[in-house]
Amino acid sequence: MSTKYDVIVIGSGPAGYVAAIRAAQLGLKTACIEKWKDKGGKGINGGTCLNVGCIPSKALLDSSHKFHDAREHFSIHGITTNDVNIDVPSMLERKNAIVKQMANGVAGLFKANKVTPLYGTGKLLAGRRVQLTANDGTEQILEAENVILASGSLPVNIPVAPLDSDVIVDSTGALEFQEVPERLGVIGAGVIGLELGSVWGRLGSKVVLLEAMELFLSIMDQQVAKESNKILAKQGLDIRLGCRVTGSEIKQENGKKVVEVTYTDKDGNEAKEVFDKLIVCVGRRPYTDGLLAEDSGVKLDERGFIYVNDLCSTSAPGVWAVGDVVRGPMLAHKGSEEGVMVTERIAGQKTVMNYDIIPNVIYTHPEIAAVGRTEEQLKADGEPYNVGVFPFVAIGRAVAANEQDGMVKMIAHAETDRILGCHIVGPSAADLVQQVAIAMEFGSTAEDIGMTVFGHPTLSEAVREAALAVAGHAIHIPNRKKRK
């Protein structure tokens, strides 16, 4: 006999577990299926984000930042540190403990909300039935009024640099290096390349990033991207743009495995570089392997993502899909919000999601953060706009903290003054951009932010000054445009 649920969620990453919790809060009988196992073979929740993504990478970013700060910047405050060392296994142990704590937290939330956790592989059959192959091999057919597919994504592999689980690794492998590689190569100077390149660079690796595009962070606002490139280069990241990797070969050097990478540089010249470790991080692909029976009725789009409409409804009635496995930015919070929208709609509410206001952060130091449209997008859309830029060097709190690199760029509509975008490279950019996201959600103008009283001295003052600069009224810099 099969068990019938109101909602079955497949996948317990941030899209799936949030959907499951919200569904249960709304009084729906909910189960969540997860295939991920911890190192001991036990089913574990949290998906990519908690296990090998957002959380462990931020743990390592924070550890490596503290180490680097102590070594390089404490002396500026008059603090003497004679011998600052890093114990990599201890750093990794701390990271693993954080992952465990957060993943157990999801299990706790499931229990508190009465979500039934099921550990194994889920496959969608026709008619909203789900085949569950449990971790012990037993099979069961489950039925549901609604199924939410939240199976996430996997790293893209490239034939010119096949992973070898030792020297050539993906982002997961790069969270597990047992010692600091002397020479670290990174294919792809995107989000993961910059974050994990920063981790190991701060700990002492000589980091070379080989990026195919000629523009750095090509989808970000280019003024902020250029500024970020300068700051990161100053920190020692060797970012080589316009490079096409043509091959990689594992070799022996002094009795140790290394990898020789061959590539064509931006001028068309052949070049070679030897690395102790190589991270391949050239994007992620939707994870639909084994997820859908042939007659499930769920269609994929031309890029392999599960096809959904604006409300995350798939082509099969009663089947929804959310998170990395569907179109849109591959961000944990984007998937979580889709999960909330879908479950609330299942419960009869009219929830919609605002895809125009999704903050996006790269957790380098300083952070790079954005919300809304870039200047390049506005130009292409033919939308009239005004820009206000304010540098952190003119913010007392930033200077006091020795965090004066970077700027806030605010973009507002030229006629209505409505905020259209905000792009920041600088200290606490992630939290600052969120202030603007809230303002945008409420339809604020740049003047509204300019008229808000900000505490002093704070980093937030840079947001207000950039908003004032839109109209040429910034106080703590000379304004180029002067309006009354």
Residues near ligand NAD, by CB under 6 A: 158, 187-193, 195, 210-213, 245, 281-284, 329-331, 361-363
Task: Choose the contact partner of 362 out of ligand NAD, ligand FAD, none; CB within 5 to 8 A by kind.
Answer: ligand NAD
Residue 248 vs 386, nearer CB to ligand NAD: 248
CA distances from 433 to 243, 410, 461, 466, 470 (A): 32, 10, 12, 12, 16
Q: Given the residues 68, 365, 456, 473, select the one marked as catalytic.
A: 456
Q: Tell the smallest beta-carbon distance from residue 338 to ligand FAD (Å).
A: 8
- The residue whose Cβ lies closest to ligand NAD is 190
Query: Which does residue 132 bind out of ligand NAD, ligand FAD, none, counting CB within 5 to 8 angstroms by kind?
Result: none
Question: Least distance from C-beta 311 to ligand FAD, angstroms?
Answer: 17
| Residue 35 touches which member of ligand NAD, ligand FAD, none, C-beta under 5-8 Å by kind | ligand FAD
The interface partner of residue 188, options being ligand FAD, ligand NAD, none and the CB cut-off 5 to 8 Å by kind, is ligand NAD
CB of 199 or CB of 259, closer to ligand FAD: 199
Which residue ranges make up the site for ligand FAD (CB under 6 A)? 10-16, 33-36, 47-49, 53-54, 57, 121-122, 150-153, 171, 192, 287, 290-291, 323-325, 330-333, 335, 363
Least gap, CB of 353 to ligand NAD (angstroms): 17
CB of 51 vs ligand FAD, minimal distance in Å:
7
| 3-class SS letters over the chain | CCEEEEEEEECCCHHHHHHHHHHHHCCCCEEEEECCECCCCCECCCHHHHHHCHHHHHHHHHHHHHHHHHHHCHHHHCCCCCCCCCCHHHHHHHHHHHHHHHHHHHHHHHHHHCCEEEEEEEEECCCCEEEEEECCCCEEEEEEEEEEECCCEEECCCCCCCCCCCCEECHHHHCCCCCCCCEEEEECCCHHHHHHHHHHHHCCCEEEEECCCCCCCCCCCHHHHHHHHHHHHHCCCEEECCCEEEEEEEEEECCEEEEEEEEECCCCCEEEEEECEEEECCCEEECCCCCECCCCCCCECCCCCECCCCCCECCCCCEEECHHHCCCCCCHHHHHHHHHHHHHHHCCCCCCCCCCCCCEEECCCCEEEEEECCHHHHHHHCCCEEEEEEEHHHCHHHHHCCCCCCEEEEEEECCCCEEEEEEEEECCHHHHHHHHHHHHHCCCEHHHHHCCCCCCCCCCHHHHHHHHHHCCCCCCCCCCCCCC
Residue number, 334 or 473, with CB nearest to ligand FAD: 334
Of the two residues 48 and 248, which places its CB atom closer to ligand FAD in the complex? 48
Q: How far is the CB of 103 from ligand FAD (least distance, A)?
A: 10
Distance in angstroms (rounded) separating the CA atoms of residues 94 and 101: 11
- Interaction partner, residue 282 (ligand NAD, ligand FAD, none; CB < 5-8 Å by kind): ligand NAD
Q: Which C-beta is closer to ligand NAD: that of 248 or that of 343?
A: 248
| Contact partner at residue 190 from ligand FAD, ligand NAD, none, CB < 5 to 8 Å by partner kind | ligand NAD
Nearer to ligand NAD, 60 or 281 (CB): 281
Minimum Å distance from CB 150 to ligand FAD? 5
Nearer to ligand NAD, 14 or 297 (CB): 14
Report in angstroms how near the CB of residue 394 gets to ligand FAD at its nearest: 29
Tokens 């959907």, residue?
19
Q: Is 456 a catalytic residue?
A: yes
Residue 245's binding partner among ligand FAD, ligand NAD, none (Cβ under 5 to 8 angstroms by kind) is ligand NAD
Active-site residue list = 456
